Amino acid sequence: GSNSSELKRATSDNATSEDFSIIWGKWDRSIDSNWGIVTQVNDSLTVVSTSKYFAEVNPTPVANLKGNASYGSGLASSFIGSGSAGEISSLLAAMDVNFDTGTITNGNLQINVTDQAWAVDFIGSVNAGVVGLGVTAAQLIDSSGLVSTSINANLGGLFTGSAAEIFVGGFDLQDLVNPLNSVEGIYTINR
């Protein structure tokens, strides 16, 4: 975008998953204009980003998005992110995808940051490789109990690998009861 001169990668935070051409990183400076979840650069490069984090991804060819698949966190899954309470300590995610009908069901995302536990349920669609996700339920819990069920959630992502072996997702969650509570990041889940 027009801010490309400001968007330099912080190499100390980069981790690479070379098998699937995913390059992770943290922006040198947090810039709200980085936010866009999924931005197509060209046919072979798409960027999943939040205001602080990014992943450069080689998307799965649309012709290869076929059949049904269940995605979930596993040994090969990874994440990068942080929130108002600190760095993300754990992240679990899952979803079912029917590429033939374009439906995404049974989506869930669970994020732990110190004593905060964020949980989001979602559904969505995939059309020509573009994923749209919408929240059906969300909550934030901490050591004192339920904090909020009013969560503003921006979710998105795309599939990578020749047979869509990996989903790369981005998220930005903000508590609407106390807007100081927030968390954002990028994750992968596998079929």
The residues spanned by each domain of the chain are 11-190
At residue 130, the pLDDT reads 83
Query: Can you read off the two tokens belonging to residue 3?
Result: 């801010």
Cα–Cα distance, 117 to 111 (Å, whole number): 6
Average pLDDT of adjacent 10-residue blocks, the chain of 191 residues? 30 40 67 62 83 90 95 91 95 97 98 97 92 95 96 94 94 95 95 94
What pTM, to 2 d.p., does this model score? 0.84
Contacts of 106 (CB under 8 A, 6+ apart): 94, 95, 96
The span from the CA of 23 to the CA of 13, in Å, is 11
Rg of the chain over Cα atoms, rounded to whole angstroms, equals 16
Burial 81-100 (b: 16+ CB within 10 A, else e): bbbbbeebeebbbbbebebe
pLDDT at 20: 57
Whether domain 11-190 has CATH 2.40.160: the reply is yes
